[in-house]
Every structure is written in C-alpha cells, then in structure tokens.
Chain A
Amino acid sequence: QVQLVESGGGVVQPGRSLRLSCAASGFTFRSYAMYWVRQIPGKGLEWVAVISKDGSSTYYEDSVKGRFTISRDNSKSTLWLQMNSLRAEDTAVYYCARFETYYYGSGRTGNGMDVWGQGTTVTVSS
C-alpha cells in the first residue's frame, strides 16, 4: 500500500525549531521528487519546498528560504523538513507529497503530486 505518514508536528514558541518527518512505504522512494506543502487553517495550499529524487536539488518558497531545510534519506525512505526560526505565520498543517512525472506518447509529459500524507499540525505560539 502506497503511503506517506508525517510526524513531528506540535506546539513551539516563536524563534524555536522543529523537525518534521515523512515516512514513505509501498513504493520506490528514490524514484520520486518530494514536496512539502502547507495550509494555514481556513486558507489555501502553499508550496513550501521540493527536493529532487537524489536530494541534490532543493527549492524553497521565499518566506521560508534560509529558515527551512528539506532533506531526504533514500535508504530509509524518509523525507524531512527542518524548520528553524519559526514564526507565528508558519502555523499550518504540513503535508508531504510524492511528485510524479507522467510520460505520454509523442514526447509529452505531465506532472502532479499523486500521493499525499495525512498532514501534521505545527502551531507557533508563545
């Protein structure tokens, strides 16, 4: 069964750190780029970070750049999000998601996040 399970969320004071984990199972983890996406309660989805299959390339949304670090260990099928210098505005549900690339005929491709975890809640509050 293809599955992503996040953990590590909780309540943390502003300025502190938190590390989220995403355990993958049921598929070849190293074959997929991975995303972290967050959602402030009652608001829309926001991409946070994405990492390539081998971990050599990482990209971040501007508001978390320099504070958050996405990483992975393909031997453990695990994705992480290290969050430092947390702010109240980082309060959200954080989802990890598998990023799939589809190949059609005639050289066309498509992509999308086809497997999502259930989310873990991060609350930044004093």
Chain B
Amino acid sequence: EIVLTQSPGTLSLSPGERATLSCRASQSVSSSFLAWYQQKPGQAPRLLIYGASSRATGIPDRFSGSGSGTDFTLTISRLEAEDFAVYYCHQHGNSPPYPFGGGTKIEIK
C-alpha cells in the first residue's frame, strides 16, 4: 500500500522567501492522483494543487506543484503572511488506500 512521506516536518522561513516542500511516495503514483492542501489553524483544508501541477480555482500563481513517479514538490515562490500554515499531500489513485502525507508546517522564522 502507498505511504506518503512529507519533508521537512517544519520549515522556518521569513516572508518573501521561497518554500520547497517534498512529498515522497513509497511506490509510483500517477501525477493525476496527487493533490496538495493548505490548512490554517481552526479551518478546514483548502485544495491548492491537483494533478500534481495544476492550481485549483483562486490559488495564486506563487504556488506551484511538480513531480512524477515517487517524488512530488510544492513550491511557494515568495512567502506571504497568509501562507504560514500546514500543507498536506494526498493521493487518490485507482484503488484504496487513499493516504495523506503527515504534513509540513511552514512557520515564521
């Protein structure tokens, strides 16, 4: 069964800096099935990226996704104050399970 491992667990950065988040799958995942979510405290998650690289509706272009096979990346080109949050990758393939990664928290340095 597929396991998604996110790294690092916590990223300490300043506004304006670039953030690079990793999601590694235990076996190859179709890029169609890989999504990224943002969650702020006390809020429901929000879809950022689907199909590994396509931005969801209303998502700013400073967010980008890339990758294939077992290695996927979420990049935030220039962090803004509202981007400090927890980010999760998720895969929904052709058959279960449909795991989330453990999350990466971006905190203000």
Contact with B along A62-101 (1 / 0, CB 8 A): 1000000000000000000000000000000001010110
Assess whether A110 is in contact with B100, with CB atoms less than 8 Å apart. Answer: no
Q: Which residues of B contact A112 (CB under 8 A)?
A: 35, 37, 47, 49-51, 56, 90, 92
> How far is the CB of A52 from the nearest CB of chain B, in Å?
12
A-B pairs under 8 A by CB, number: 81
What is the bound-complex CA distance between A112 and B90, given in angstroms?
8
- In the complex, identify which listed stretch (A8-16, A17-25, A40-48) lies at the interface while the others stay far away: A40-48
- The count of residues in chain A whose C-beta lies closer than 8 Å to any C-beta of chain B is 27
> How far is the CB of A119 from the nearest CB of chain B, in Å?
6
Q: Which residues of B contact A118 (CB under 8 A)?
A: 44
Task: Tell me whether A32 is interfacial, beta carbon within 8 Å.
Answer: no
Assess whether B32 is in contact with A110, with CB atoms less than 8 Å apart. Answer: yes
Task: Tell me whether A55 is interfacial, beta carbon within 8 Å.
Answer: no
Output the nearest chain A residue to B52 by Cβ-Cβ distance: A110
Task: Tell me whether A54 is interfacial, beta carbon within 8 Å.
Answer: no
> How far is the CB of B50 from the nearest CB of chain A, in Å?
4
Q: Given the interface contacts A44-B100, A61-B97, does A113 sit within 8 Å of B32 by beta carbon?
A: no
Assess whether B50 is in contact with A45, with CB atoms less than 8 Å apart. Answer: no
Assess whether A111 is in contact with B51, with CB atoms less than 8 Å apart. Answer: yes
> How far is the CB of B102 from the nearest CB of chain A, in Å?
5
Assess whether A50 is in contact with B97, with CB atoms less than 8 Å apart. Answer: no
The 8 nearest A-B residue pairs measured at CB: A110-B51, A112-B50, A112-B35, A116-B44, A110-B50, A59-B96, A45-B100, A44-B103
A selection of 15 A-B contacts at a CB cut-off of 8 Å is: A44-B88, A50-B98, A61-B96, A100-B50, A102-B51, A108-B32, A108-B51, A110-B35, A110-B51, A111-B33, A112-B37, A112-B90, A113-B37, A114-B57, A116-B45
